[in-house]
Amino acid sequence: MAGTFPSEFAMMLSVPRLAFIPLLWLTGQALAAITVSEPWSQALPPGSPAIAAYFTVHNDGTEDDVLTGVASPVAGEAGMHQSSGADGMMKMQAIASAVVPAAGSLVFQPMGYHAMLMSITPGTELQPGSHFPLTLHFKHAGDITVQVQVLQDAPAHDHGN
């Protein structure tokens, strides 16, 4: 019997591989194409009427997706803004949607795109270490809810150092 073990073992490995590779590929396309990483917000004094939230959306799929809106239970109003420094003055402009390119990412960060949360519910904790839910609406991926971490300072982006 010992002599048959290696070939049986090889079959056990090869059969699941053949069976599961197409399945993983399909579910990967349908369920895991869009992920949201590092959601954060700048700490603000209690009673602040509006806050901005930042995050990175990754698209591992083969088709573009579109971020069409944001919402949070701590905000009466929520939208997406783009900051720009035209004419030496910081301006914010509302945007209706933002594309998450296939095999790419969409970055919301200070001085760029941000989720703008207004009419903040009184008593909402916005001190470092607290967090609040933020739901992102995608055209194809549907709703994805993340926990936005409130930080004193922007997270460092020194990957690979």
Amino acid at 132: F
118 binds Cu ion (CB under 5 A): no
DSSP tag of 121: P
**What does the alpha-carbon distance between residue 56 and residue 51 come to, in Å, rounded to a whole number?**
17
**Site stretch for Cu ion (CB under 5 A), options 87-95, 105-113, 125-133, 141-149:** 87-95
Q: Which of 58, 81, 131, 137 binds Cu ion (CB under 5 A)?
A: 81
- Strand duo 34-42 + 75-84: pairing: unpaired
32 binds Cu ion (CB under 5 A): no
Enter the tokens of residue 94.
């509302």
Q: Which of 36, 80, 116, 141 binds Cu ion (CB under 5 A)?
A: 116
**Site stretch for Cu ion (CB under 5 A), options 56-64, 69-77, 89-97, 142-150:** 89-97
CB-based contact 33:61 (threshold 8 Å): yes
Chain residues in the site for Cu ion (CB under 5 A):
81, 92, 116
